[in-house]
Amino acid sequence: MTALLRQGCYSKLWRKHPSKTHLSSFDHYSQLYKESIENPDKFFGDAARELLSWDRDFKTVSSGGFEHGDVAWFLEGQLNASYNCVDRHAFANPEKIALIYEADDAKDSRNVTYGELLRQVSKLAAVLTSFGVKKGDTVAIYLPNIPEAIVALLAVTRIGAIHSVIFAGFSSGSLKDRINDAKCKVIITSDEGRRGGKTVYTKKIVDDSLKNAPSIEKVLVFKRTGSEIPWTEGRDFWWHEELDKQRAYSPPVAVNSEDPLFLLYTSGSTGSPKGVVHSTAGYLLGAAITAKHVFDIQEKDILFTAGDVGWITGHTYALYAPLLLGATSVIFEGTPAYPNLSRYWQIIEKYKVTQFYVAPTALRLLKRGGEEFITGHDLSSLRTLGSVGEPIAGEIWEWYHELIGNSECHIADTYWQTETGSHIIAPLAGITPMKPGSASFPFFGIDLAIIDPVTGKELVGNDVEGVLAVKKPWPSIARSVWGAHQRYLDTYLKPYPGLYFTGDGAARDHEGFYWIRGRVDDVVNVSGHRLSTAEIEASLIEHHSVAESAVVGVSDDLTGQAVIAFVSLKDGFDHTQEIKKELIMHVRKEIGPFAAPKTVIVIDDLPKTRSGKIMRRILRKIVSNEADSIGDISTLNNPQSVDQIIAAVDIQL
Ligand code: WT7
C-alpha cells in the first residue's frame, strides 16, 4: 500500500490532515486491523475502556456468535448512554457547544451547550418517569430534525427506556404499525414541523395514527410553530409545561451493556418492516470508534451530518458519535434546496464545519444545480467529506473532492447499514489511500468475506466478486429483530451459516479495495432510503382498483434508484392517467412521500411462473432496456405477457 502512495495514487488528497490524525500511517491501520481481527477482545476491551465511561466495569469482553445468534459484548458491565453523551462533557466544560441548530428558516437558529443539554435531558427524563415510563419500556419519537429530537432520544436512554424513532415523513399508517409492533407507551412529537419552507403536520399525523394504536397512554408535544392543533385533554401534554415542573438534574439509570438502547425500523425483502434492536455498550462503542478514525474527529471539531435523526445515519453520526466524543454536531432541520441550492455551503461557512456527511443523492442534485451556488462560499474549514447510503459515482466523487474539498479533503465513502450500527467498510481520513467509488477497506474488527452466491463458498484472494458477508461479530452489530428473533436469524444468519449476510453484492479488486455493487435482494435504494418492494406492492394492492402489482427499482440519475410499479387493474377499472396518479398518491399517503413510485405502468398480466410466482427479474430487465437478455421465458405460465409488457413500457415509461 505504501507503494500505492508512492506512485502518487491519490496521495495528495488529504493535505489538511498529516500531523493531526489519531493514527500515524496506513501501515499503522494495517497493524491495528490485524490485531483487531486476531484478538478482538483485547482490541475492543481497551477501546471500550478508553472511549466510554462505565458505572461498572465489564469482565467478559465478548461471548456468543453468529452460529446461534447470541452475540454479546462487555458483559457484567453497566453504563448509561446519556451520561456518556452529555454529563461527562457538561461537567468538564458546560459552556462548550454540543448542538448547533440550523433551523429551516435560518433566523430561528440557536446553539445548545453541553450544560444546557444536560438540564434539558434531565428534565425530560423526569417527565417521562412521571408519565410512568420505566426501564425497558419503549417510547416512540416522531419529531422534526431539531435539538429537541436529540434531547428526546437522550432522555429516553437516561431512564433506561428504549427509543423507537419514526422518521417524520412516514404516514400515520406506517407510524401506527411501528407503534403497535413495539407497544410504545408514550410518543413524543411536535405541533408541526418546517421543512424546505413547507409545513409538516406532525401532531395531526400522530393523532390519526393513535386511532388504532391503543398502547399509547400519553403524548408529549413540543411547540415548534405555535399553530392551532387538535388536542385530547388528559392524553396530550405540552413539552414546555411538563419540563417546567421538573428539576434540572436527574440521575442517569445504569443499564447492562446488552440492554437494548433503541429500535429502528427498516425494510427488508419480505414482510413488514423489522424493528432492528441495538444494544447499549456495543452500539455506543461502534459509533464513537468509527467516527473518531473514519472522520478523524478531534475535540474541537464541528460535524455536520446532513441526514435526519429519523434514520440510522442521524442516530449514529448526528447524535451518538459526535456527543460521545464531546464534539459539536450541526442539526439541520431543512433541505439542501431551500431557500436555494447554496444552503449546505452557507451552513459550512457560517459554522466552520470540519466534517460534512451526506448521501450522494444530495450531491447529484447540487452538482446539477451548477457551480454558481458554490462559488464565493468559504469552505476552507472542511477536512473530511463523508458519503453514505449508496455508491458514489466517480464523477460525483471528483466534483465533491475538487469543488467542495478544494482537492485537499479526504473523501470518506462509508459503507454500513441500519443493522451494522456503524461503518464497516470505510477509509480512515488522512490515512487510507482512495479510489473514487470504492469504500476502501474494512474497519477494525470487521472480518469480511466475499461469498459465491451459488456455492455458498468464500472466494479468497483478490479480484473476486460475489455477495458480502462478515465472519465475526463486532460490538455494534444488531442483536435481534424486536419481538421476532427468528426473523433475525432467518434474514441475516441463516443464508450463509456462521456468517452475517449483508444483502449486498461486492467485489474485492486486485489491491484489496472493496467495491459495493448494491442489493441482491428485493430492496430498492431511493435517495439513500431503503425501501422494500414487497411493502410498496402490499400498499398498492390495498387500493380498490388494483388486482396485482409488482415493484422494481430502476436506475435514476438523481435518486440513484427509482421505484417503478407494474399493476394490473380489476375489471371495471380503466387504464387512465388519473388512476396512475391516484396510485402514486395512494403510496405517498400509505407509506410516505419518499416511497411513491416514479411511474405506474398498467399492464394486463404480470409475468409468472407456473407456480404463480411473479418474475420481477424479467420486469427489471425490461425497465433497464435489457429486454434482449431476458433469457428463457418458456417456463412462464404466460410467456405472451412479456411482449405486452415491453410494449406497455415503451408507451408508458
Ligand atoms: C444499504 C443500507 C448506512 C446508512 C444509510 C443507509 C447501501 C450504504 C453505502 C455505500 C454503496 C451503500 C447498501 C446497504 N449503502 N452505504 N457507501 N456504498 N452502498 O442505511 O437504510 O440500512 O441501507 O445502503 O445497499 O445495504 P440502510
ipTM: 0.99
> What is the rounded CA–CA span in Å between residue 40 and residue 261?
23
Q: Check if the beta carbon of residue 294 is closer than 8 Å to that of residue 414.
A: yes
Axis crossing angle, helix 577-590 with helix 172-182, rounded to the nearest 10: 30
Q: Which residues pair with 72 in a beta bridge?
A: 63
How long is the chain? 653
Q: Which residues of the chain have pLDDT under 70?
A: 1-19
Q: Check if the beta carbon of residue 302 is closer than 8 Å to that of residue 352.
A: yes
Question: Ligand 1 pocket: which residues have CB below 6 Å?
Answer: 266, 312-313, 388-391, 413-418, 439, 502-504, 516, 518-519, 525, 528, 530
Q: Check if the beta carbon of residue 528 is closer than 8 Å to that of residue 359.
A: yes
> What is the rounded CA–CA span in Å between residue 152 and residue 160?
13
Distance 168 CA to ligand 1 centre (A): 20
- Which atom, in ligand 1's list, is nearest to the CA of 418? 22
- Which atom, in ligand 1's list, is nearest to the CA of 518? 25
Report the Cα 298 to chain-centroid distance in Å.
23
Q: According to the model, what pLDDT value does residue 13 have?
A: 53
- Which atom, in ligand 1's list, is nearest to the CA of 530? 21
Q: According to the model, what pLDDT value does residue 522 have?
A: 84
Report the Cα 396 to chain-centroid distance in Å.
21
Q: According to the model, what pLDDT value does residue 19 have?
A: 57
Q: Check if the beta carbon of residue 295 is closer than 8 Å to that of residue 412.
A: yes
Distance 520 CA to ligand 1 centre (A): 12
> What is the rounded CA–CA span in Å between residue 469 and residue 494?
12
What count of Cα atoms within 13 Å lies in the side-chain half-sphere of residue 618? 25
> What is the rounded CA–CA span in Å between residue 646 and residue 626?
10
Distance 438 CA to ligand 1 centre (A): 13
Residue having the nearest C-alpha atom to atom 19 of ligand 1? 390
> What is the rounded CA–CA span in Å between residue 36 and residue 43?
5
> What is the rounded CA–CA span in Å between residue 389 and residue 519?
12
Work out the burial of residue 96: count CB atoms within 10 Å of its CB; fewer than 13 is exposed, 13-18 middle, 19 or more buried. middle
Work out the burial of residue 177: count CB atoms within 10 Å of its CB; fewer than 13 is exposed, 13-18 middle, 19 or more buried. buried
Gap between the terminal Cα atoms of the chain:
47
Distance 591 CA to ligand 1 centre (A): 20
What are the counts of helices (DSSP H) followed by strands (DSSP E) for the chain? 21, 30
Distance 528 CA to ligand 1 centre (A): 7
Distance 106 CA to ligand 1 centre (A): 30
- DSSP E strands, 494-644: 500-508, 514-519, 523-526, 529-532, 546-556, 560-569, 599-602
The reply to whether the predicted model has a pTM over 0.95 is no
Q: Check if the beta carbon of residue 329 is closer than 8 Å to that of residue 323.
A: yes
Total Cβ atoms within 10 A of residue 633: 15
Pocket test for ligand 1, best of 417, 468, 492, 502 (most atoms within 8 A of CB): 417
Residue having the nearest C-alpha atom to atom 21 of ligand 1? 530
Distance 417 CA to ligand 1 centre (A): 5
